[in-house]
Structure 1
């Protein structure tokens, strides 16, 4: 249901996300209230200051608002970081008023750090080498860079909120607080990644993607209230972070971060000699290859040529996800599924936003893989069913797609025990 917006004094200095969402921006530097509340980068922290004397009614002691765009950041499409729609609706996160900043690391911070290294790190992955990255490598960056430490504490706080329901609100508040502090240090650096600082930036970027992925866990009643905007925000964030870090991806295999690469790309997904790895020991539906083939055939024969190639590429990337999961068996890594948003063509993103029926049908098949992750990792839960329900509603009048929609619905809407 649409609600009327409150009137407010117009200003051209608000951050990009507040403008996108058409809400009043308080223009607080370096991060406005809405971006701080959601734990996301605010455009006020980067770029060149723009002055507008005629409309500037703030007191002199307040820092000037900064609304600028960085140098072009190239990705696989036209996506760049300034277009990341990652400002989540406040209704999704619940109250997140931050406590008064402590003078230093306090006992609660030490509790969260301890919890991260003895518990949270082991729940983020199934591989011991990846657990070492989260337990040792990332904290080493956190000891040297406080914004990385704040990101770790934010994730640990959300984990504690899951484990201690009676203190959930307190931990969710702490998570938002630490995330906002982490972003204060991260945001000015994210467009100046170089050989000297890429490791802490990569560490925090990975944490931020995880934090955005935790939206259902952070939300009131742990429910995803706006599935389509939320999944687009997650996808956009993945694409933006990847585009920023792409220049340094070749460094990763030569460092202690290497398991992040090797834990995902465990096989040659383009091997023509093994296009359909066996599924017996995997968590995949036994008919997944046939289902994707039916979807491919439907798109190949029923779409305009200028659209078809993008959709067929997206299905081909879904097939790569399938091969990775087939080879992984029960040792599924979230990166095996989460690389897909980065590699799909920009057209798919735009079509999902426009609620294009074919794009929503494609998204429903991706939800099957999100659902698999939900059976493995606590931080991935709460996406697949709300998305599938919304897709089903949107496509209810497209009877020509009903048969193709049956398969993902059957995989997702039937309750399955966690793996």
Structure 2
């Protein structure tokens, strides 16, 4: 579930302790364990997915009840935070249920983005980090460096599973967005692409200690207009998420619950983009990153 030593410590000691103290957190972890078993044992996948859903639904009842009660929120900040993370990972395991089908990939991505945004809002408005100092690594692991710090580092993409030319290609994407943006307006698409560049640089800086949160937090900062464009399948938004999908795909070897997301998104974008659209030529790079999977 993690690679950084400080995050591993949380999973090995703090989360099990919380499970002993809070039944709904225990059900959340059992849900994740069953989902992981479904990932490992495809022959019994449905059995373990049913078990995962069973535990998740039980835990969710208490989670929703405590989240809606101000006194319970104050009293149970740590377990609520932990189960919120379970919700995000549960959504990510949807590819196990759909057999990596591309039919719902964009819809699932929008659902994931809204869940991450909602979870972060809850953390910032309802919960206090001062009460959860022993969980701080779960947050800091997703943003270990600032943009300024990344700019001062001598980084090599070869420390990652990313395509070696990703930084140059993202520059090309940004130039494409600038060319096609309305004059005189700051494009949220360019900001989102800069965010993808920061992700690639952060993964290069972290190397083998890269956490899934580094990639997923991009969805939290995604502009609301872009999220609407993704939901309504606008070509510029589809192109952007295809590049994001390449980064997601690069994490699959180390993060089991991301398995299948990148491929499914790129497959659906491939189906949705018109052959004569101006985005097609830029999409070709993203499609080429999984040539053994796409025709």
CA–CA distance in structure 1, aligned partners of residues 92 and 43 of structure 2:
23
Query: What is the 5 A alignment of 1:11-410?
Result: 124-192=1-69, 194-217=73-96, 219-221=97-99, 223-247=101-125, 251=129, 255-271=133-149, 273-274=151-152, 277-305=155-183, 308-410=186-288
SS in 2 for 1:329: helix
- CA drift at 1:139: 2.0
Higher normalized contact order (CA 8 Å, seq sep 6+, divided by chain length):
2
- CA drift at 1:192: 4.3
- CA drift at 1:306: 7.7
CA–CA distance in structure 2, aligned partners of residues 393 and 223 of structure 1:
12
CA–CA distance in structure 1, aligned partners of residues 32 and 65 of structure 2:
21
Q: Deviations over 1:202-241 (max 9, x none)?
A: 0000011011111112x15454541111111111111111
- CA drift at 1:280: 3.1
- CA drift at 1:149: 0.8
CA–CA distance in structure 2, aligned partners of residues 272 and 333 of structure 1:
16
Q: Deviations over 1:2-41 (max 9, x none)?
A: xxxxxxxxxxxxxxxxxxxxxxxxxxxxxxxxxxxxxxxx
Q: Deviations over 1:113-152 (max 9, x none)?
A: xxxxxxxxxxx11123212211221222222221111111
Structure (1 or 2) with the larger CA radius of gyration = 1
CA–CA distance in structure 2, aligned partners of residues 374 and 209 of structure 1:
16
CA–CA distance in structure 2, aligned partners of residues 165 and 357 of structure 1:
35
Contact 1:283 1:329 in 2 (8 A): no
CA–CA distance in structure 1, aligned partners of residues 262 and 272 of structure 2:
15
- CA drift at 1:372: 0.8
CA–CA distance in structure 1, aligned partners of residues 153 and 231 of structure 2:
32
- CA drift at 1:337: 0.3
Tell me: CA distance 1:184–1:236, structure 2 relative to 1, closer, same or farther (3 Å).
same
- CA drift at 1:312: 1.4
- CA drift at 1:305: 4.6
Contact 1:361 1:391 in 2 (8 A): yes
Tell me: CA distance 1:272–1:159, structure 2 relative to 1, closer, same or farther (3 Å).
closer
CA–CA distance in structure 1, aligned partners of residues 218 and 272 of structure 2:
23
Any stretches of 5+ residues in structure 2 without a counterpart? none
SS in 1 for 2:11: helix
- CA drift at 1:369: 0.8
Of Structure 1 and Structure 2, the greater helix share is in 2
Contact 1:318 1:340 in 2 (8 A): yes
SS in 2 for 1:412: coil
* Aligned residue pairs, count: 291
- CA drift at 1:272: 7.3
Contact 2:106 2:231 in 1 (8 A): yes
Tell me: CA distance 1:366–1:275, structure 2 relative to 1, closer, same or farther (3 Å).
farther
Contact 2:78 2:132 in 1 (8 A): no
Contact 2:150 2:202 in 1 (8 A): no
Please give the TM-score of this superposition, normalised by the length of structure 1.
0.65
SS in 2 for 1:339: helix
